[in-house]
Structure 1
Amino acid sequence: MSWLRALKHTARTGMKVERTRLEPLVALRAAVGLAIVIGFGLAFLGPGAAASSAFGAFMAAIATFQKSWRPRPVLALASGLTLAVSTFVGYLVGSSHTGLFLALLAVWTFAAGLLWAAGPTAGIIASGNVAVMLVTVTLPTSVAQAAGHAAMIAAGGVVQALLIVLFPIRRWGAQRDALADALAAEADYARRLRHDPVCAFDPQPLMRARDAATVTARQARRRPAELHGARGLAERVRPVLASLADPAVGAPAEGPARDRVRELLDAAGTVLDAAARAIRHGDPVRLPAPALAVLKSPDTADLLTGAPQRAARRLAALLDDVLETAEPRSGRLVAPDESMLRPTLTALVPTVLRSVRAELHPDSPILRHAVRVTAVACAGYLIGQALPFGHGYWAPMASVMIMRPDFSQTYARAVARFTGTLVGVAVATGIVQLAQPGMYLSGFLAVVSAGLMYVLMRTGYAVSQVCVSAYVVFLLGMGGVRWDQTVPDRVALTLVGGLLAMLAYALYPAWETPRLRTRLADWIAADGRYAAAVLGHYAAPADARRADVRTALLAARDARIDWQDAVDRAAGEPVRHRGLSRAAADGAGEAVAAFGRNAMLLEAHLPDRSQAPVPGAAALAEAVRADTEAGAKEVRERGVPGWERVRALVTEEGAPVWGARDPGVLRSAGVQLLDALDEVSEALRT
């Protein structure tokens, strides 16, 4: 993609308005918290303290809207307290010497950039703290006032946290939605299998549900019963659905058996949808009787035999468990040690430090982002001070809020922020000129603007920036600053900050395109370890551990999501493919997905511990593991893998390995695994 096309694409992306479900009650609660701290500050402490507390409450509320499974009060407190510390330290350093403040800004910004290694929530909160610190350090005039302003900022976060505790809205709502989405995705998959027996399944909903199911010890004691267990059952339903539908291991492609399979898949979709609705709304399960009749029909045993019959029985049993688990207030008790426990914030520190250390190498996109954002923030601060405007902090503040570790988001947000600033400032200016608001009316208008931003935050960055710009104009007007003293400065310096952010990424990029081969190699190796773990279960059923298969599957899913995200980011980058064209990436991705799917079909029929080892399974497991590891290395080095070990086993050369009793299903699966690997090689030759 050329630079011109990339810029057009990112501009359209930045201006996109998304249709998403709004959360007006949550936004109202956040706006009420902001109103409380602004009103208290104006009534008892003056407009300066009110502005400080407003920034604390504003950023604390934004933190609670991030996509995180941690308790919302914890996010609000973390945001408010870290911003208070940043403001106080920033004033102590900045009040004595500009050079020292610039050094502090560099250290603070670099640390905030590295915190993206801990995830987007930590990165967004840290970036927001740096941006707001640039404003709040200008408000106090003494150390005592700086301490007071820091206390008010922290109080703003405390108020937001208390409101969440006192007025919970749809408790466990995000976790309910994640689990319901996973079950609904399974239902959609079951219906699509009726028409396309080898259709693809996106594991993202299941991964999101797993993240939601990881809780703190305190949450584990309070979690509703219906949120425990259904996710694990959904994970086990998926391979059974696939094995039932696939003509290679399930029912024939046509005939009465295939018709019964279609009926079973449709009934499974109905059951899973009913469970999803019950979990999402906390209501009893309402299931149409015909769906249960199909699943329990005795005719199934006459129409299906062998592996399809076993899959049908397994599906009925799993769906019974899903319905029992999804029933609200079922009385099932959940012990904390049965849950996947999430560490507390203090216990998370060593993990974050390890993640940051892992990114300290020249090719890391996180390190490059930290260097870029630090250089831009410092340059923007110096430029803002040198220009004949007031409020020079707006240039670095805009840059820090715009910049992200990848190209598309940075450029899209730069366009969206400038456009949103123009519109928001124009609207706020018109209101100020017409209404001539005083201190309290300006505070009220600031709260209204912030409330609208909370409501519309997830509809698009440009829309939210309209409200944020109006909020800042009204907030500064609350302290007596006239609109004509701030509007031209804000617009011009926002443009400067956006241009600096875009220029920095062009000069010191972290392109995803050259890393596509590495991402593909990681996925191949992870899928190979998953397939080998499954085959190892066939080789030694008595000694096998399902936990090993589960761990390998999760690693393969993570690698697949990393690959898909990398392909999406690379699609908008203005660089050549550098060794992996778009067509090759698409073909190789489909082939590796097919390889993983074949391994999943094998997982659906794992033998019991009492069964005898399957001849040839151990040799095939070792061949798959060795070939995929070697193949991944070839892909990284721009070569084309050959898969010789697997080929030797599943062709005529490997006949003696399987023994006299040919394990038909397993050997057939080996052929399918090899076919998928050959398709990977064929795609890489294009």
Structure 2
Amino acid sequence: MSWLRALRETARSGLAVERRRLAPVVAARGALGLALVVGFSLAVFGPAVAASSAFGAFQAAIATFQRSWRPRPTLALASGASLAVSTFLGYLTGTHTVLFLALLILWTFLSGLAWAAGPTAGIIASSNVAIMLVTVTLPTSVATAAGHAVMIFAGGVVQAALVVLLPVRPWGAQRDALADALAAEADYARRLRHDPVAPFDPVPLMTARSAAAVTPRQARRRPAELHGPRRLAERIRPVLASLADPAVGAPAEGPQRDRVRELLAAAAEVLDAAARAIRHGAPVRLPPAAVAALRTPDTGTILSERSHRAALRLAALLGDVVETAEPRTETGDGPADPSAPRARPTLPRLLPLLVARMRAEARPGSAVLRHALRVSAVTAAGYLLGLVLPFGHGYWAPMTSVMVMRPDFSQTYSRSVARFGGTLVGVGLASAVVQTAHPGTYLSAGLAVLCAFGMYLLMRMGYAVSQVCVAAYVVFLLGMEGSGVTQTVRERVLLTLLGGLLAMLSYAVYPAWETPRLRGRLADWLTATGRYAAAVAARYADPAGPGSPDVREALLSARAARVAWQDALARATHEPVRHRGLPHAAAEGAGHAIAEFGRAAMLLEAHLPEHGAPPLPAAAGLAEALGEATERGAKAVRERKAPAWDDLCATVTAWETEVTDPLLRKAARLLLAALDDLSAALTDA
């Protein structure tokens, strides 16, 4: 993609307005917390302290909107505490330009590395640096600065208390994640009726798994219906695939296929009913026609033996889903489900893990490290330029840079455009109000709270929309204290434009392109999927039942590698660089081939022998051959060669002479055919 086209695409993305479901009650709760903090601070301490405490409450409320599975009060407290520390340290060095610049570079570098822990930590850390640039200009002494820091933390405490006292749909994010996973399974079942080899996106299941991890405190309070359906949904997926695939199940046409379509439609309706019940915490209402279809007694006379077993297993799993999705009252301190919940570390225990992740990214070639270096250099340059330029309040430039910069190209450029456009509108409107109406302290505070409410309400609709409200909020808040009133719209907009241009220029000078890494991501996915296929095959040589932990871990690793490949491919699509040996058509074909390879392994997983079943010695050789072949194939992919599968082909040929089960023979051929397709896709790449 050329630079011109990349700039056009990122600009369009940044200025796009999305239609999203709004959450006015949650937005009102955040605005209420802000209003309480500002009102109390104004009445007791005055406008300067009110401005600091308002930033703390404002940022704490934003933290509660982040896509995180941690309790909202914890996020608010963490945001308020970290911002208070940042602001106080910033003021201690604020009168010494060199010391403050050194602190700014260090703090910004650490905020860049915080992206190693995920977007929530990265956003909170970046916001702390941005707000610190504003709040350090408000205090007048060390004691006053300490008081400002305390009030900033108090703003976080107020927001956390409101989340506890005024709960809005508790466990709603976890309910939505689990319901989305079940709904994705239902959609998959419907698509299999018309396309027996339809692909399945594992992201909803991965999101639900992430949402299922809880702290010990959360585990004692989690609703019972959120415990078990996720694992059942993951076990249903291979059963649906094996029931629909004509290679190992019912023929493509005829009475068996008609019955399979009927069963898939019924499964979709049952899964949708369970998803609705979990999303709203209501009883499960099953469609009578779907229940009747699953219980049809003549299914065994129509379907073949293996398809009939899959149908029976599907009905049993759906029954378990319905049972676990019913709202129940827990007794005692532990969860109703006997299985132990996935553990999520508490914040004190998370700090060593965060430090370890940040240290792991401090290596050459790390995109996160490059981001940390870029953002710290750009912020320092913006701060120095703000001091030199005759505009006053030069923090608008570095504040813009640190807020728009992200580890990848497309987000940095789209947010830069959105920030400039939103600031242009927001600052223009707010400054016009200030210059014409001359609102007093309390009216400015009220307008700031109103802008904050608009930001909370519209932040999911697009970055440009939210920035209109944020820019106006800053103008009214500083106008309440009397700071920055003399700065014109032109000066604020020019400083914002400067910050955005510095951010965009830094990525062009010191990029972290994803395009050259595509082959490595593809090789990682092939390796992980090969280990999954090998783990499944090994279980036929040593039967351990459907719930084999090694198969489960291999599957999760393969899913993570697949999502990493998809994310990398999506980012590379908008980068203004050449394909570096993996053109778009080859990437698409190779991705499809590895997905088919994983689906063939999943068909084998759907029929894993029960614990204690007679072993199949030949499966051990197939498992070893799969692991070795995919390792060599991944090496060839990295070296820009088309992988060869001669040894695996010989193993599959021997497998077909030793194994009599038609399913196992067909599945082995599907595995080899998928790898051949991979080689064909990469031959001319």
User: Does TM, scored on the shorter chain, surpass 0.5?
Assistant: yes
Q: Report how far residue 663 of structure 1 moved.
A: 3.1
Quick check: 1:530–1:552 contact (8 Å CA) kept in 2?
yes
Q: Report how far residue 435 of structure 1 moved.
A: 3.2
Pick the aligned partner of 2:681 from 667, 680, 683.
683
Quick check: 1:446–1:471 contact (8 Å CA) kept in 2?
yes
Residue of structure 2 in register with 1:670 after alignment: 668
Aligned residue for 1:169, secondary structure, equals coil
Distance in 2 between residues matched to 1:45 and 1:484, nearest whole Å:
24
Does 2:245 match 1:243?
A: no
- Between 1:85-94 and 1:502-511, the stretch displaced more is 85-94
Residue of structure 2 in register with 1:58 after alignment: 58
Residue of structure 1 in register with 2:102 after alignment: 103
Q: Report how far residue 670 of structure 1 moved.
A: 1.0
Quick check: 2:529–2:558 contact (8 Å CA) kept in 1?
yes
Deviation per residue, 1:218-266 (Å, 9 max, x gap): 1111000111101111001111001000001111100001000000000
Quick check: 2:63–2:76 contact (8 Å CA) kept in 1?
yes
Pick the aligned partner of 2:526 from 508, 524, 530.
524
Residue of structure 2 in register with 1:489 after alignment: 491
Counterparts of 1:414-563 in structure 2, within 5 Å, are: 414-481=416-483, 483-542=485-544, 546-563=548-565
Residue of structure 1 in register with 2:407 after alignment: 405
Distance in 1 between residues matched to 2:574 and 2:207, nearest whole Å:
25
Unaligned runs of 5+ in 2: none
Residue of structure 2 in register with 1:121 after alignment: 120
Residue of structure 2 in register with 1:291 after alignment: 290
Distance in 2 between residues matched to 1:553 and 1:24, nearest whole Å:
40
Aligned residue for 2:487, secondary structure, equals helix
Distance in 2 between residues matched to 1:475 and 1:489, nearest whole Å:
18
Residue of structure 2 in register with 1:89 after alignment: 89
Does 2:257 match 1:255?
A: no
Deviation per residue, 1:364-419 (Å, 9 max, x gap): 10000000001000000000000001101111110000100000000000000000
Distance in 2 between residues matched to 1:319 and 1:400, nearest whole Å:
49
Q: Report how far residue 630 of structure 1 moved.
A: 1.1
Distance in 2 between residues matched to 1:664 and 1:191, nearest whole Å:
26
Distance in 1 between residues matched to 2:359 and 2:81, nearest whole Å:
25
Aligned residue for 1:21, secondary structure, equals coil
- Between 1:525-534 and 1:637-646, the stretch displaced more is 637-646
Does 2:639 match 1:637?
A: yes
Quick check: 1:536–1:544 contact (8 Å CA) kept in 2?
no
Distance in 2 between residues matched to 1:234 and 1:33, nearest whole Å:
39
- Opposite residue 152 of structure 2, the aligned amino acid is I
Residue of structure 1 in register with 2:210 after alignment: 211
Q: Report how far residue 22 of structure 1 moved.
A: 1.0
Pick the aligned partner of 1:368 from 367, 370, 386.
370
Counterparts of 1:219-238 in structure 2, within 5 Å, are: 219-238=218-237
Quick check: 1:624–1:645 contact (8 Å CA) kept in 2?
no
Distance in 1 between residues matched to 2:487 and 2:330, nearest whole Å:
63
Deviation per residue, 1:71-108 (Å, 9 max, x gap): 0000000000001001111111122x110110111110
Deviation per residue, 1:130-160 (Å, 9 max, x gap): 1111111111111001101101101010100
Q: Report how far residue 433 of structure 1 moved.
A: 4.0
Pick the aligned partner of 2:384 from 382, 389, 392.
382
Distance in 2 between residues matched to 1:380 and 1:227, nearest whole Å:
48
Counterparts of 1:64-75 in structure 2, within 5 Å, are: 64-75=64-75
Distance in 1 between residues matched to 2:326 and 2:339, nearest whole Å:
22
Distance in 1 between residues matched to 2:169 and 2:529, nearest whole Å:
38
Report how many residues are paired: 681
Does 2:86 match 1:77?
A: no
Distance in 1 between residues matched to 2:114 and 2:539, nearest whole Å:
40
Quick check: 1:614–1:663 contact (8 Å CA) kept in 2?
no
Quick check: 1:274–1:285 contact (8 Å CA) kept in 2?
yes
Does 2:148 match 1:149?
A: yes
Q: Report how far residue 3 of structure 1 moved.
A: 0.2
Distance in 1 between residues matched to 2:441 and 2:464, nearest whole Å:
28
Deviation per residue, 1:185-204 (Å, 9 max, x gap): 10010001000000001001
Distance in 2 between residues matched to 1:330 and 1:93, nearest whole Å:
55
Distance in 1 between residues matched to 2:10 and 2:338, nearest whole Å:
45
- Opposite residue 663 of structure 1, the aligned amino acid is D
Q: Report how far residue 288 of structure 1 moved.
A: 1.3
- Opposite residue 248 of structure 2, the aligned amino acid is V
Residue of structure 2 in register with 1:308 after alignment: 307
Quick check: 1:623–1:645 contact (8 Å CA) kept in 2?
yes
Distance in 2 between residues matched to 1:144 and 1:222, nearest whole Å:
42
User: Structure 1 337/615 Cα, relative in aligned 2: closer, same or farther at 3 Å?
Assistant: closer
Residue of structure 2 in register with 1:182 after alignment: 181
Residue of structure 2 in register with 1:27 after alignment: 27
Counterparts of 1:150-165 in structure 2, within 5 Å, are: 150-165=149-164
Quick check: 1:217–1:336 contact (8 Å CA) kept in 2?
no
User: Structure 1 330/221 Cα, relative in aligned 2: closer, same or farther at 3 Å?
Assistant: closer
User: Structure 1 276/545 Cα, relative in aligned 2: closer, same or farther at 3 Å?
Assistant: closer
Deviation per residue, 1:488-513 (Å, 9 max, x gap): 33211101100000000000000000
Quick check: 2:431–2:488 contact (8 Å CA) kept in 1?
no
Q: Report how far residue 361 of structure 1 moved.
A: 1.6
Residue of structure 1 in register with 2:42 after alignment: 42
- Opposite residue 600 of structure 1, the aligned amino acid is M
Quick check: 2:76–2:156 contact (8 Å CA) kept in 1?
yes
Q: Report how far residue 481 of structure 1 moved.
A: 3.8
Quick check: 1:588–1:684 contact (8 Å CA) kept in 2?
yes
Q: Report how far residue 545 of structure 1 moved.
A: 6.6
Distance in 2 between residues matched to 1:685 and 1:274, nearest whole Å:
47
Residue of structure 1 in register with 2:336 after alignment: 334
Q: TM-score, normalised by structure 1?
A: 0.98
Q: Report how far residue 543 of structure 1 moved.
A: 9.0
Distance in 2 between residues matched to 1:337 and 1:127, nearest whole Å:
39
Distance in 2 between residues matched to 1:457 and 1:483, nearest whole Å:
26
User: Structure 1 566/542 Cα, relative in aligned 2: closer, same or farther at 3 Å?
Assistant: closer
Residue of structure 2 in register with 1:612 after alignment: 614
Distance in 1 between residues matched to 2:206 and 2:648, nearest whole Å:
30
Aligned residue for 1:485, secondary structure, equals coil
- Opposite residue 670 of structure 1, the aligned amino acid is A
- Between 1:424-433 and 1:472-481, the stretch displaced more is 424-433
Quick check: 2:108–2:379 contact (8 Å CA) kept in 1?
yes
Does 2:574 match 1:576?
A: no
User: Structure 1 542/210 Cα, relative in aligned 2: closer, same or farther at 3 Å?
Assistant: closer
Q: Report how far residue 542 of structure 1 moved.
A: 4.8
Quick check: 2:88–2:149 contact (8 Å CA) kept in 1?
yes
Distance in 2 between residues matched to 1:190 and 1:316, nearest whole Å:
13
- The percent identity for this pair of structures is 69
Pick the aligned partner of 2:588 from 580, 586, 589.
586
Q: Report how far residue 336 of structure 1 moved.
A: 8.8
Deviation per residue, 1:25-82 (Å, 9 max, x gap): 1110000000001101111101000000000001111111111000000000000000
Deviation per residue, 1:468-495 (Å, 9 max, x gap): 0110111111112464525333211101
Deviation per residue, 1:405-453 (Å, 9 max, x gap): 0000000000000000011112213333443211101000000000000
- Opposite residue 374 of structure 2, the aligned amino acid is R
Quick check: 1:595–1:673 contact (8 Å CA) kept in 2?
yes
Deviation per residue, 1:154-200 (Å, 9 max, x gap): 10101000100111100000000000000011001000100000000
- Between 1:487-496 and 1:195-204, the stretch displaced more is 487-496
User: Structure 1 251/543 Cα, relative in aligned 2: closer, same or farther at 3 Å?
Assistant: closer
- Opposite residue 92 of structure 2, the aligned amino acid is L
Deviating runs (4+, > 6 A) in structure 1?
none
User: How big is the alpha-carbon RMSD for the aligned residues of Structure 1 and Structure 2?
Assistant: 1.4
Does 2:269 match 1:270?
A: yes
Aligned residue for 2:139, secondary structure, equals coil
Distance in 2 between residues matched to 1:103 and 1:244, nearest whole Å:
63
Does 2:12 match 1:12?
A: yes
- Between 1:545-554 and 1:457-466, the stretch displaced more is 545-554
